[in-house]
Structure 1
Amino acid sequence: MAKLSENQAGPSPQGEFRRGWPLLLSVVLGVGLGLSPLPFYSIGMLAPELAKEFGWSFASIMLGLPVATVAVMIVGPIIGWLGDRIGVRPVAIASLVLFAFVFMAFSLTNGALPLFYLNWALMGAVGAGTLPTTWTRAVNNGFEVNKGLALGVALMGTGVFGFLIKPFLMWMIEAHGWRAAYLVTGALPLIIALPVALLAFKDPGARRVHTLHAPLPGLTLGEAARDPRFWLIAGGFLLFSFAIAGPLPNLENLLKLKGFTKAEIVSLAPVVGLSVIAGRVAGGWLVDRFWAPGVALVLLCLPAVGCLIMHGQDPTFGGALTAIALVGMAAGMEFDLLAFLIARYFGARAYSTLYGCLYCAYAAGSGLGPVAFGADFDATGGYQTSLLIATALLVLGGLVLLPLGRYRFAAEHAVEEARIEAAAGERAAVPGA
């Protein structure tokens, strides 16, 4: 019997990363300079400037996040459907360009809140294609043995740029003002992410569909929507995204209320980005080796401890550092956990559509969380109530995922399917076979 090639025997871990590193790099930059991190991590630095310039409250400024969320919830499923129909490459690249220009348009803010919110809505609509909905489909199709780790590495761009954007914005604001900060930050996707995406972002699954003329394995949207596991995932992500997203944009103000100096806040805030990177890689490595819902519950209990630390009176610098790191690590696992769960429970057939729909639950929670925290501050002058609510929702969100049960599309299943397809392709190439 002839020796099986790598494609026939299933992908090796080393071979996957050796072939796939250009794809991973394009996703790191595309996601990291897209709709998910840039508005979210920048608003905490820019909100005080907008409040000072126009007299807006923090809650009214943070309301931009759920406005964008509503737009994403409307457009997201359409983006996913387009990714499944015409491919994720054109969708992601077009969205990256449009998102950059709309983000730069915030530099023209004139004090009219309705126009401010309109810009947020437009950014959410045109930037929805820069979310992991599109980028992770290619990673899922290009990696199997180390799918979780590959997703963690690919999506650590949110942590990398979450870490870099805060000190960068502080320098830009102090040196050139908040309008220049919006303008230059919005140009980063065009300067950095777009050239790499044009060269390296390609979906291996699209090649397979075209060459084999067969759909990828998995459930359709209708089949998945009739599966209780679809709604368990949606419910879990709604709960813990609210709890994780709530404190992060309000972090600088929260630390100020806890008595930290400006210099201490500057040194603490970037820890979020570093811990997001750690959460991405550690979470991805863990779900490749252990049952993902169990991993999620354990990792979600950590930021619950972090919220309790910040709820206490006058935490130490070390305590605040620990709390921020714990919340950041949980924020680091959300996107890749969702991508992994979709791949393992519903397969690749309607992956982008399913991600777009389930992302709506995540977006709803992450959009409402910062507003709830901001409203708590406006009403009470602090965040004590919202921190306690976040603690409970983190644990509850993890518990909701436990009934998901065994994977439907395990790695062994996908490797065996690849072997069968490769053998069938060889037989088809032999005349008379």
Structure 2
Amino acid sequence: MPDPMPEGHVSSRAEWGLGWRIVLAAGVGAAAGLILYPFVASLFIQHHTAAFKWSRGEASFASVASLIAGSLAPFVGRLADKAGVRPVIILGALGFAGACIGMSLQNGNIWLYYGLTFLLVFFGLGTTSITWARPINAVFVRSRGLALSTALSSVTLTAAVTPPLLNHVMQTYGWRSGWVMLGLMAIAGSALGLLLLPKVKPRAEAMLNSYRLGEATRTPAFWLLVSGMFIINIPSGGLMAQMAALIGDKGFDGATVASVLSAFAISVFFGRLVAGFCLDRFPAQLVTFIAMGVPAIGCLMLLGQSAYMPLVIAGIALAGLSQGAEGDVGPFLIARYFGLKAFGALMGCVNAAVVTGTGVGGILFAQAYDFTKSYDIALWAGAGCFLVGALCFAAIGVSRRARIEESAAADQV
């Protein structure tokens, strides 16, 4: 596989001078699309079940539709590689908004709900880092990690503000208006992001040694990256889906649970920024190994029925740091080791692994609790998943060195 992209002769300050509008555009565009949906989806569930007399099990089965749509992320990325990011973002935002409007008009047919969920996720993929990270990687090399983390951190900030605002709209005007608001936000955010986004010509350093999709998928590094993303998102997805219940089972009241969830959001924000800063300055394999391995300690801190608040907050915060770092790792490693020629398709593969792992984790954590009336088994397994995933990222460096040595030996023959 290729060496990491050359750093070139452009300083970090010069990169920011050239690309700050790209970071701003990506931050605005990505913050209002599909990435925001998981933070607000739970607000709609209680209204749907009350309005249409669905069981929670029936409503949650929509996650299967999300998984199927998420598995098509490589197709969306491939389209962005061929047609460019602008058409895909426009189509994605319009399709996502259309699905939201459809949700606001639903009549209680559960299969219509599943179908709209599929369309929402499928079109929404065009508003994610599959598209928005590409122009950042095309301009930033020396400061790529910080640029990606700065842009994607906007999602965390939006996620902190949108739920209470959306809840207010739903309580005042009804739940259907909430879906309309979500769709309009996607169109407004994407439109503003595209207006801010300048035409980008990739720097030579960013395109050097770029791999095609078929070439990249034949390298061990690609499969280590995809496997690592899938494995760490099993416990991450499980913790996100069951976090409120897990904390509540320790005897904390609703206000305290909300405060702990806020600590999680804050740790995601700082985890993303710190990871981006470190990726630019230290070996990527070391940074990712630590970022993805440390949450294993957080899982162990959450074991049992201990209601010691500092321990619970520390455990949740460590999980949040990994969640934040994960958003930087995928686009950063793909651009560094595989270039931009097939960036969208490769990023789509990573996103598919993330979506699948998250869905599987949510199901497994819930099933573990149903069988044992405790999350301890899930937390022990989650700690192991974080460590195995971290080792996958560390092994990327080993596979790269082996490939370089193999190429050097072949040249001597």
Q: TM-score, normalised by structure 1?
A: 0.83
Matched residues, number = 395
For 1:18, the aligned partner's letter is: G
* 1:336-370 Cα deviation digits (max 9, x unpaired): 10111111211222111211123222221122222
Q: Decide which of 195, 201, 208 is 1:199's aligned counterpart.
A: 195
Identify the residue that residue 352 of structure 1 maps to in structure 2: 344
C-alpha displacement of 1:331: 0.9
Q: Is the 8 A contact 2:70 2:356 kept in 1?
A: no
Structure 2 equivalent of residue 61 of structure 1? 59
Judged with a 3 Å threshold, the aligned counterparts in structure 2 of structure 1 residues 379 and 52 are, in CA distance, closer, same or farther, namely farther
From 131, 136, 139, give the equivalent of 1:139: 136
Tell me the residue number matched to 2:408. none
CA distance in 2, matches of 1:397, 1:371: 19
Consecutive unaligned residues in structure 1, runs of 5 or more: 1-7, 410-433
The percentage of aligned residue pairs carrying the same residue is 31
Distance 1:256 1:380 in 2: 17
Q: Assess, with a 3 A threshold, how the Cα gap between structure 1 residues 203 and 264 changes in structure 2: closer, same or farther.
A: farther
Q: RMSD in angstroms over aligned alpha carbons?
A: 2.7
Residue 50 of structure 1 is matched in structure 2 by: 48
Partner of residue 99, structure 1: 96
Which of 314, 317, 320 is the aligned partner of 2:312? Answer: 320
Question: In structure 2, what is the Cα distance between the partners aligned to 1:126 and 1:9?
Answer: 36
Task: Give 1:176 shift.
Answer: 3.9
Distance in 2 of aligned mates of 1:274 and 1:135: 23
- Kindly indicate whether the alpha-carbon contact (under 8 Å) linking 1:65 and 1:367 is maintained by their aligned counterparts in 2: yes
Deviation at 1:156, TM superposition (A): 1.1
Matched, 1:223 2:215: yes
Alignment map for 1:138-287 (pairs within 5 Å):
138-191=135-188, 193-202=189-198, 204-205=200-201, 217-287=209-279
**Rounded Cα–Cα distance in structure 2 between residues aligned with 1:151 and 1:323:** 26
2:286 pairs, out of 289, 294, 300, with: 294
**How far has the Cα of 1:285 moved from its partner?**
0.8
Structure 1 residues 50-59 or 302-311, which shifts more?
A: 50-59
Verify the 8 A CA contact 1:272 1:325 in the aligned structure 2. yes
Q: Does 1:71 align with 2:69?
A: yes
Structure 2 gap segments, 5+ residues each: 1-6, 402-413
* 1:22-81 residue CA offsets vs partner (Å, 9 max, x unmatched): 211111122221212x2211123333443444454444433323421221212x222212
Query: Are the aligned partners of 2:95 and 2:119 in contact in 1 as well (CA < 8 Å)?
Result: no
* Contact 1:62–1:371, Cα closer than 8 Å, also in 2: no
Q: How many angstroms apart in 1 are the aligned matches of 2:199 and 2:128?
A: 15
Q: Deviations over 1:158-195 (max 9, x none)?
A: 2122222333344344444433333323321223x133
Greater alpha carbon shift after TM alignment, 110-119 vs 339-348: 110-119
Contact kept, 8 Å, 1:172 with 1:180, in 2: the verdict is yes
Flag the 1:111–1:77 CA change in 2: closer, same or farther, 3 A: same
Taking a change above 3 Å as real, the CA distance of residues 16 and 393 of structure 1, as seen in their structure-2 partners, is same
SS in structure 1 at match of 2:210: coil
- Distance change (3 Å), C-alpha of 1:195 and 1:326: same
- Counterpart residue number, 2:3: none
Task: Verify the 8 A CA contact 2:211 2:341 in the aligned structure 1.
Answer: yes
Worse-superposed segment, 276-285 or 49-58 = 49-58
Query: How far, CA to CA, are the matches of 1:218 and 1:9 in structure 2?
Result: 16
What residue is the counterpart of 2:328 in the other structure?
A: 336
One-letter code of the match for 2:278?
L
Contact 1:346/1:408 (8 A) holds in 2: no
Which amino acid in structure 2 is aligned with residue 32 of structure 1? Answer: A
Contact 1:44–1:251 (8 Å) recurs in 2: no
Aligned partners of 1:401, 1:64: CA distance in 2, in Å?
A: 31
